Amino acid sequence: WFNDGYTPPFKEFIENAYVSIGIVPIIRHVYLLTLPSVTKETLKRIERAGNLIRYACIIVRLTNDMGTSSDELERGDVPKSVQCYMHETGATEDEAKAYIKQLTLETWKKLNKERQTIDSEFSHEFIDCIMNLARMGHFMYTDGDKHGKPDMFKPYELERLSGNHVAKKTVRLLRHGQKRDLYKMTRLQMMVNDSHLSIREKHTFVSKMNLVTL
């Protein structure tokens, strides 16, 4: 694509890019580490988690593109999902980004549904790893490239040092039904700190806001 100056259709890009993001090898290595023993059957079994892995990889790819595509294009990299969608449909950049955001949310819904239905033959550690990789990508690349610009982590570190006030404020807004104010809060900050919330409070967050469970 780079050598030929080729901009693929969006679907063709995704079919390649969800693999090239590099998450699949990580997941396969983790899978082997979670096994009590490695056999031919256990090696074949991971294919039955194909959809779960695919959705997680797509989320990381789409959020990565949203956070890094501008900088990478300036460096002469190949077009990303935003540019492929624009090229194929004639959409503006804002329209393409809105489409990618919606597609990311829809993929989260598919991932969550797949997680609920996947066979219990897989360990909790393996499933959690897949989910956490998707969460990592969503957090890392929302509002920019936190991997390439680590200074962007500073506000999150300050919040953690200040007594987890983001999560506490979120719960308080939920209890008072202040949806408008809650929308203003960064959902990914909630995700980073949500280990301090009870299961009931997390479920309340999802049901009240009708959001995918990050």
Pick the range with the lowest mean pLDDT from 35-49, 61-75, 107-121: 61-75
Check whether 24 has a pLDDT greater than 80: yes
Check whether 58 has a pLDDT greater than 90: yes
What total number of domains does the chain contain? 2
First to last CA, the chain: 33
Structural domain harbouring 13 = 1-145
Predicted pLDDT at 210: 42
Place of tokens 């909630």: 190
What does the pLDDT average to over 156-160?
A: 52
Question: Model confidence over 64-113: pLDDT tens digits?
Answer: 888 775 555 555 566 788 889 998 999 998 899 899 989 999 999 999 99
Three-state DSSP at 39 gives coil
Predicted pLDDT at 149: 55
Share above pLDDT 90 across residues of the chain, in percent, rounded to a whole number = 17
**Domain check: are 46 and 123 in the same one?**
yes
What does the pLDDT average to over 117-137?
A: 85
**Domain check: are 188 and 86 in the same one?**
no
**Domain check: are 8 and 44 in the same one?**
yes
What does the pLDDT average to over 37-62?
A: 89
With contact defined as beta carbons under 8 Å apart, do 214 and 108 qualify? yes
**Domain check: are 69 and 22 in the same one?**
yes
Check whether 169 has a pLDDT greater than 70: no
Residue in 98, 92, 97 with CA at minimum distance from that of residue 80:
97
**Domain check: are 33 and 47 in the same one?**
yes
**Domain check: are 95 and 174 in the same one?**
no
Predicted pLDDT at 208: 47
Place of tokens 């190949």: 78
CA 132 to CA 124: how far, in whole Å?
Answer: 12
Predicted pLDDT at 92: 92
**Domain check: are 118 and 90 in the same one?**
yes
Predicted pLDDT at 201: 53
pTM: 0.65
**Domain check: are 50 and 115 in the same one?**
yes
Place of tokens 């294009």: 73
**Domain check: are 122 and 160 in the same one?**
no
Average pLDDT score, the chain = 73
Check whether 171 has a pLDDT greater than 60: no
Residue 27 to residues 1, 39, 124, Cα–Cα distance (Å): 26, 17, 13
185: region left, alpha or beta (phi > 0 left; psi from -120 to 50 alpha): beta
Instruction: Please tell me which residue, 189 or 4, carries the higher pLDDT value.
Output: 4
Predicted pLDDT at 22: 79
Check whether 195 has a pLDDT greater than 90: no
